[in-house]
Amino acid sequence: MHEAVGKAVDLKTRQIHVERMTVTSSKPLGDVVKILEASVGHPDMSVFPKEIAAAQSEAELERIVNRATGASGLMIFMRLDLGEVLRKEQGASARKSLRYLIGNPVTMKAMAKHVPDAGSYAPVTILVDERPDGVHLSYDRMASYLAAYGNEEALKVARELDSKVEALLKKAAA
């Protein structure tokens, strides 16, 4: 135990084994990104959190989320241009690299009610990265994050999420 501001703090460590799934595409990054982004919802993130906070019931929450998600049942929370940062050092020759935070708040809720730590892993990260052998679309499987917690209900939801994300990546790469 460690002392923090006069109180005992219990520090625990858990080892998580993560499975990374990667699909490689021979298509240009722009084409892959176009398909990926067209397949997920794009809520106005200046409004969406306020709508979630104002929801008065689970049914209303689900309506708000369903309206925000694309056909995949997923939505973009954020897009980070990692390549832009790389170009500051490497110039125009730096590879293109995008990190997406994608998910569904209702799915996160379904996992986090059984495994609170699921909130650390959702929304999920998808990396779309240009490399010499093609465009890599990478994703760390949610079920692998949650396996260490041993909760079958959370794992069932995580596996369903993994299937949705993997289908999305295969569609974008094809």
Distance of CA 111 to the CA centre of its chain: 14
Q: Residue 9 CA to chain centroid, in angstroms? A: 30
pTM for the model stands at 0.90
Supply the pLDDT for residue 151: 98
The amino acid occupying position 118 is A
Please give the chain's pLDDT, 174 residues, in tens. 555 566 788 888 889 999 999 999 999 999 999 999 999 999 999 999 999 999 999 999 999 999 999 788 999 999 999 989 888 888 888 889 999 999 999 999 999 999 999 999 999 999 999 999 999 999 999 999 999 999 999 999 999 999 999 999 999 999
pLDDT of residue 4: 55
E strands of 16-103, at which residues? 20-25, 75-81, 97-103
Q: Which option is the CATH number for 16-173: 2.60.40.10, 3.30.110.60, 3.30.310.70, 3.20.20.150?
A: 3.30.310.70
DSSP 69: S
Structure tokens at 54: 């104002």
Q: Strand 75-81 vs strand 7-9: parallel, antiparallel, or unpaired?
A: unpaired
Q: What is the pLDDT of residue 29?
A: 96
- At residue 51, the pLDDT reads 97
